A = this chain, B = another copy of it.
């Protein structure tokens, strides 16, 4: 099999020939048709995230080992199955749930493997989908996609699922106001999911009018361009001075989180997702006085991915694909994503 691997951080990926894995027991071998290229792959490739005071938090300190085949948004066809696989068969079209845990920690016990104490995620802590084949450790991590397209469905495993979980964490009701900040691929998916599941009043916030227009077409009730002055003030004006009941921030940098706190209504929830990096000064007494909640949302659980795929199958949410690359073009795809040239999703077709 062929894989595009990061040999060490900050150097170009190399195409490697690796031995073909054989699936045992409950394992499944998937021939990769589509593998999404995700912003978090750039952090892996660069070796770290920027934390407080510009300090870099190394991914190796978090347990990542190189060489690594990145790629956690994987859709393809089952090529071979282990002897104890009962629910899937060769030739079936599937999406892979990549946020695999150790199976024994408290998070895994309740099916939140994405938050495992010792994660083993595909494409992060073990080899993933920048390859023509991937070995999935248990059939339970597969979801049948029926006749959905590989290219559009693959990004549900991370981009879509992250948006789904973030919206669930926002937990707003129809009479409440939800702000969605950062209208890239995740933000656009989040607008659709918020419409499909909670139906609050939605305000989309970004610095790009085109993206905002797209958010409006997908269901946002109001749009706010934060270049046109203080976003917090604009949101307060739209909410009778009270503020938003929840803010979902797909950027999670100082320039969005500080106004995010300002625009929160009493009892409001600020959901932080992005890994842009940086820090803010948090005013401590305000947290109890406003009874606010700040919570981090990281990918999502298998049961939620099954729900999300169900929505896609009924056409209720539509993932957006922007550009396709061959496996050989993996470096190019990462470069263009980093340069901000891709709205929606870049896909490798190995």
| Cα A279 to Cα B283 with chains together (Å) | 5
Residue of B nearest to A267 (CB): B115
Question: Counting CB contacts under 8 A, is A280 at the interface?
Answer: yes
Question: Counting CB contacts under 8 A, is A302 at the interface?
Answer: yes
Q: Does A175 contact B298, Cβ atoms closer than 8 Å?
A: no
CB of A315 to closest CB in B, whole Å? 11
Question: Contacts A109-B302, A252-B284, A281-B280 hold; do A294 and B295 have CB atoms under 8 A apart?
Answer: yes
Question: Counting CB contacts under 8 A, is A201 at the interface?
Answer: yes
Question: Counting CB contacts under 8 A, is A308 at the interface?
Answer: yes
Question: Counting CB contacts under 8 A, is A117 at the interface?
Answer: yes
Q: Does A285 contact B174, Cβ atoms closer than 8 Å?
A: no
Q: Does B278 contact A279, Cβ atoms closer than 8 Å?
A: no
Partner of A310, one of B201, B277, B289, B297: B201
Q: Does B296 contact A287, Cβ atoms closer than 8 Å?
A: yes
Find chain B residues with CB under 8 A from A50 CB: 285
| Cα A331 to Cα B19 with chains together (Å) | 56
Q: Does B282 contact A292, Cβ atoms closer than 8 Å?
A: no
Question: Counting CB contacts under 8 A, is A198 at the interface?
Answer: yes
| Total identical chains | 4
Q: Does A287 contact B294, Cβ atoms closer than 8 Å?
A: yes
Partner of A51, one of B277, B285, B301: B285
Q: Does B296 contact A292, Cβ atoms closer than 8 Å?
A: yes
Interface string of A77-106 (1 = CB under 8 A from B): 000000000110000000000000011101
Question: Counting CB contacts under 8 A, is A14 at the interface?
Answer: no
Q: Does B109 contact A285, Cβ atoms closer than 8 Å?
A: no
| Cα A231 to Cα B189 with chains together (Å) | 37
Find chain B residues with CB under 8 A from A310 CB: 174-175, 201
Question: Contacts A111-B110, A266-B115 hold; do A289 and B275 have CB atoms under 8 A apart?
Answer: yes
Question: Contacts A174-B308, A198-B197 hold; do A295 and B292 have CB atoms under 8 A apart?
Answer: yes
| Cα A58 to Cα B187 with chains together (Å) | 37
Q: Does A288 contact B273, Cβ atoms closer than 8 Å?
A: yes
| Cα A310 to Cα B178 with chains together (Å) | 14
Q: Does A296 contact B288, Cβ atoms closer than 8 Å?
A: yes
| Cα A79 to Cα B276 with chains together (Å) | 50
Q: Does B53 contact A281, Cβ atoms closer than 8 Å?
A: yes
Interface string of A308-323 (1 = CB under 8 A from B): 1111001010000000
Q: Does B275 contact A279, Cβ atoms closer than 8 Å?
A: no
Find chain B residues with CB under 8 A from A267 CB: 107, 112, 115
Question: Contacts A25-B25, A306-B175 hold; do A284 and B280 have CB atoms under 8 A apart?
Answer: yes
Find chain B residues with CB under 8 A from A176 CB: 106
Find chain B residues with CB under 8 A from A266 CB: 107, 115, 117
CB of A154 to closest CB in B, whole Å? 19
10 other A-B residue contacts (CB within 8 Å) besides A174-B307, A274-B288: A26-B103, A51-B283, A51-B286, A57-B289, A104-B139, A109-B303, A111-B111, A174-B310, A201-B314, A288-B297
Interface residues of A (CB under 8 A from B): 25-26, 49-53, 57, 62, 86-87, 102-104, 106-112, 115, 117, 138-140, 173-176, 196-199, 201, 221, 242, 252-254, 257, 265-267, 272-298, 301-303, 306-311, 314, 316
9 contacts between A and B (CB under 8 A): A174-B197, A201-B314, A221-B314, A252-B287, A279-B284, A280-B282, A290-B296, A292-B295, A295-B295
